[in-house]
Structure 1
Amino acid sequence: MDAIREMPPTDLLAGAALVACVFLALIAAFRRSPKNAPPVVRMGVPVFGNFAAFIRSPLNMIRECYEKYGAVYTVPLMGFNFTFLVGPEAQAPFFKLNDETMSQNEVYGRYTKPVFGADVVYAADPKKRNQQMQHMAYGLRTARLKSYVPMIEKETRNFLKTWGDSGEVDLASALSRLTILTASRCLHGDEVRENLFEEVARLFHDLDEGMTPLSVFLPHAPIPAHFRRDKARKEMVTVLSSVISARRAEQASGTSTVEKTDLLQVFVDMKYKDGSTNTDDQVVGLLIALLFAGQHTSSITSTWTTLLTTRDPKMLERLLEEQETVLKDTQNTPLTWEHLGEMELLHDCMRETLRMYPPLILLLRMAKKDFTVTSKGQSFTVPKGHFVGTSPHVAMRLPTVFKNPDEFDPDRFGPERQEHKQPFAYLGFGAGMHQCMGQQFAFVQVKTILSVLLREYKIEMVGELPPADFNAMVVGPKGKCTVRYTKKTA
């Protein structure tokens, strides 16, 4: 959810942004900074140069400034100060400091509230958000994850039956659909998956399309995508309220005979420390937030991992050998949690994919207090009020941290090398206090899907490896990812 993308403005937005830049930059120029403040970046024409560089390519700007100014620097941008921390040592405060110093709400609350709802995640006060996160973590504990493996395998096999024996398919589109199917089964429960899935998927699409680059700055701008988003949000509550009401009635009467292991039940049962419970609107908002957090990242990661491994014959051969070693009978052995834990090479392929192609390219916080950051023996004080950012995409391609960082090399995670072990070097799921609590579910979901897919089909990429689409809110492959598949014989 911590995602900002390149933002090509319309003429109207560009004009408004330039006026705002001039006004706010003049104010910022007179703000006092501590003596040991980070170096300030000035690119091109005063006031406008930094803005133009950021619009062209945030990643290139972050990388170029790192090479010129070092691991800590401040970029005056759109009338605000953005301090970037790049590299394991400099990034440590970003991931270690709590919300009282390094807050997420000011960054993400405004534009996620129309989608997730009031008092949900970033639109909730930090104490309430932490309680919501704790219950999410409880809902994704190991016992539940074990129960999800056969669900995900069944959904995957049923989905692949529609492929037939051979053909071509847009892998990104197919795995996006499959990821929603599996997530709906595990997170929303059987009632939604069996009876309401198509309606929920349609509404989720409109919610997804309603979170645009413009939404980051103007979440209530009168544009068609926002109108559809707001309509879909109301309809989603209406659609799911019948399921929630039935669950509450079962709970009150004690008539439920089957234990519900989905996250919907966790949010229905949830009680806050003040004794209050979630409203239907909040339950729906938490489910939407979870689906947003996992759907794009899992489908993108499974797509990239498939593309990167199938274009490397030696790596693909090793992966198939691992499947045979772990499962013995690869055609008939049902997958279990324990099997997935033994698939170490598949695990490392997924981690390496996330290192090279993290779906979230820019993470942001707001400094609510001054704090100190150290890099190569030099200390800097980042002032209160600065936006603070780091880029997983840039940080995980530093040659000083990862050897030959532009090469797909899952063995870098093996016991002989362990290049990821330096604190805050690997950011595939974030790090520290706010690292993604759904990472274990993501590993279960993606590894189960890929285990079945690689055993059932021979996959060949048609054409070249696509570039990353840095114009997307959550960065995946650009354009179609056409693959040719042939079903393997038993």
Structure 2
Amino acid sequence: MDLFLTLLSVLITAVVIFISNVALKHYRVIQRVNKIPGPTRLPLVGNLVEILKCDSVQLFEKFREWCRKYGSVYSFVVLGVPVVVISGPEEFEIISSGTKHLQKGLNYGLIEPWLGKGLLTSSGEQWQQRRKILTPAFHFTILQEFIKVFNKETEALVNTLKTSTKPVNIVPLISHSTLAIIAETSFGTKLDMENKADKSYVSAIHEMGQLLVYRIIRPWLHKSILFNLLSFKSVQYSNTIDILKNFTNRIIAKRERHFETFEVNRNDDVSKRKKLAFLDILLNAKITKNLIDDEGIKDEVNTFMFEGHDTTATAISWILRQLTIYSQYQDILYQEIIEVLGEDGKQPELQDLNELKILERFIKETLRLYPSVPVISRFLDEDVVLNGYTVPKEASIDIWIYDIHRNPKYWTDPEKFDPDRFLPENCVNRHPFAYVPFSAGPRNCIGQKFAMLEIKAVLCQILRNFTLEAANKDDKVDILTDMVLRPANQINLIFTQRKNE
């Protein structure tokens, strides 16, 4: 008995010492974060009450308000979870250039049940290997073939718009088109948006965004076991993940049934093969070299199906809205398209899209004001000094691309829409991290060339066929706190066929 009591005493003492050390370390982290400017914290709960008061629209505005008030580096704390927010190019460059600080932040852990350890969420050696495997999928010789799919799906979109006699809510319509594009180009699968399973994928993506925000701002729900025990939304979360995963599992199974391996050697690299789907590269890497397993393929397909359609759909929707507000550009862009393509209805090719310089500037300026992904997050490998403040590596770092693009130090009259900001002469001395719609550094978006070509191809066909007008003349639109820059209200536009069409 004495021995048992002695061992129990030792065990209790060890546990108390461990908890005390963890608590002391956490207290020191919070003390260091508290030296960084930010909103006043309440004892224990920090800024939780202030955040929970906000709905999704108000929360987005709350973060923007804090940025304006506290500058390019500020902090807040929620139930002991410290977060440092940056919105300056210099600070972003420190974190995103080089080979350090590549691990994605706290928020990304919450989407792992859906995206697993795909390219968006993974880090270290696995991320490097996957990036190496997948980079050839976006080689320009393969992109040239993809443009044919862009044109085909956009033609179907144009035909749908021609039959519409009422204002069109463009967000779901564009989402269906970009989903069909990514499915055929990257996964070799043609979708039927009249099919219930295909159609439900888009709405499930939107649901997932809201569920993730709900969990992010409630730290006590970050652990899955507590989320399942304490929140009625856990059932909806599980059901939504099932819809998303079942959709991509069907695509993988369908492609795998007809897949044939191919050799890749020094004289026949992947980039020289035409009509090579992203999924083919993954399947080939699994079968011929064992570089990825079935679970890894599912993770990458889930990641790219989401990232490859939702971010692009968001960008196109905001661009179409901007065309109704700055309607003088519609004729300017139409004339450029006619000069490049002629009036005989020729479908654009890679070279044609690259010649549409005014359209490109219009796209870039829209992405400056409305970046598809407004915020990303990272974990630090070590303590970092930002703007004179020491940021401990234990803090989560939120990088607000939305406010980097509005930083008045780098953008004169930042709220003004002006595509001429992207004339070559106006870009010469701009900070390389002042414009980062596709992120920057080693973890930049692998599909950014794909996205830009797709956006150009879709806009090219729409502008050649229609003039656009907003159904609602109010040029202000509220923004939801979400995975992408989603408008809180419908963007309803009127499409009028051009007379010469």
TM-score past 0.5 threshold: yes
CA distance in 1, matches of 2:255, 2:32: 56
| CA radius of gyration, larger in | 2
- The correspondence for 1:342, drawn from 342, 350, 355, is 355
Shift of the 397–42 alpha-carbon distance from structure 1 to 2, 3 Å rule, reads closer
Shift of the 201–277 alpha-carbon distance from structure 1 to 2, 3 Å rule, reads farther
Query: What is the 5 A alignment of 1:220-231?
Result: 221-222=227-228, 223-231=234-242
Offset of residue 224 of structure 1: 2.9
Would you say the 8 A contact 2:286–2:293 is kept in 1?
no
Would you say the 8 A contact 1:113–1:122 is kept in 2?
no
Residue identity in the other structure for 1:315: Y
Query: What is the 5 A alignment of 1:70-469?
Result: 70-99=71-100, 101-104=101-104, 107-117=106-116, 119-121=117-119, 124-164=122-162, 167-168=165-166, 169-189=168-188, 191-193=189-191, 199-203=197-201, 205-206=203-204, 209-211=207-209, 212-213=211-212, 214-216=214-216, 217-219=222-224, 221-222=227-228, 223-232=234-243, 235-236=246-247, 238-249=249-260, 260-270=275-285, 275-329=289-343, 331-373=344-386, 375=387, 379-418=388-427, 421-463=430-472, 464-469=474-479
Would you say the 8 A contact 1:167–1:486 is kept in 2?
no
Would you say the 8 A contact 1:40–1:76 is kept in 2?
no
3-state DSSP class of the match of 1:98?
coil
CA distance in 1, matches of 2:429, 2:445: 17
Would you say the 8 A contact 1:72–1:85 is kept in 2?
yes
Residue identity in the other structure for 2:357: E
CA distance in 1, matches of 2:120, 2:437: 21
CA distance in 2, matches of 1:291, 1:457: 29
- Compute the TM-score of the two structures, normalised by the length of structure 2: 0.80
3-state DSSP class of the match of 2:28?
coil
- Compute the TM-score of the two structures, normalised by the length of structure 1: 0.82
Shift of the 27–292 alpha-carbon distance from structure 1 to 2, 3 Å rule, reads farther
CA distance in 2, matches of 1:313, 1:234: 41
CA distance in 1, matches of 2:135, 2:195: 24
Offset of residue 235 of structure 1: 2.8
Q: How large is the RMSD of aligned CA atoms in angstroms?
A: 3.3
CA distance in 2, matches of 1:332, 1:46: 66
Shift of the 238–404 alpha-carbon distance from structure 1 to 2, 3 Å rule, reads closer
Shift of the 466–27 alpha-carbon distance from structure 1 to 2, 3 Å rule, reads farther
Match of 2:36 in 1: 39
Shift of the 219–196 alpha-carbon distance from structure 1 to 2, 3 Å rule, reads farther
CA distance in 2, matches of 1:406, 1:35: 34
Would you say the 8 A contact 2:145–2:275 is kept in 1?
no
Offset of residue 461 of structure 1: 0.9
3-state DSSP class of the match of 1:436?
coil
CA distance in 2, matches of 1:160, 1:154: 10
Of stretches 89-98 and 147-156 in structure 1, the one that deviates more from structure 2 is 89-98
Shift of the 249–317 alpha-carbon distance from structure 1 to 2, 3 Å rule, reads closer
Shift of the 198–349 alpha-carbon distance from structure 1 to 2, 3 Å rule, reads farther
Offset of residue 465 of structure 1: 3.0
Offset of residue 312 of structure 1: 1.7
Shift of the 369–180 alpha-carbon distance from structure 1 to 2, 3 Å rule, reads same
Shift of the 319–141 alpha-carbon distance from structure 1 to 2, 3 Å rule, reads same
- Structure 1 unaligned spans of 5+: 1-22, 253-257
Per-residue Cα deviation, 1:411-466 (whole angstroms, up to 9, x for no partner)? 11112322883121012111122111111111111110010001111211111235
Per-residue Cα deviation, 1:131-179 (whole angstroms, up to 9, x for no partner)? 2123332101111111111211111112322333552211122111111
Offset of residue 229 of structure 1: 2.9
Of stretches 296-305 and 63-72 in structure 1, the one that deviates more from structure 2 is 63-72
Residue identity in the other structure for 2:238: F
Offset of residue 204 of structure 1: 5.8
Per-residue Cα deviation, 1:10-67 (whole angstroms, up to 9, x for no partner)? xxxxxxxxxxxxx9x9867731689899524342644446233444355555445445
3-state DSSP class of the match of 1:425?
coil
Would you say the 8 A contact 1:37–1:382 is kept in 2?
no
Would you say the 8 A contact 2:30–2:80 is kept in 1?
no
Match of 2:15 in 1: none
CA distance in 1, matches of 2:324, 2:162: 20
- Structure 2 unaligned spans of 5+: 1-19, 217-221, 229-233, 264-272
Match of 2:219 in 1: none
Shift of the 360–468 alpha-carbon distance from structure 1 to 2, 3 Å rule, reads farther
Would you say the 8 A contact 2:119–2:130 is kept in 1?
yes
Of stretches 134-143 and 163-172 in structure 1, the one that deviates more from structure 2 is 163-172
Match of 2:482 in 1: 472
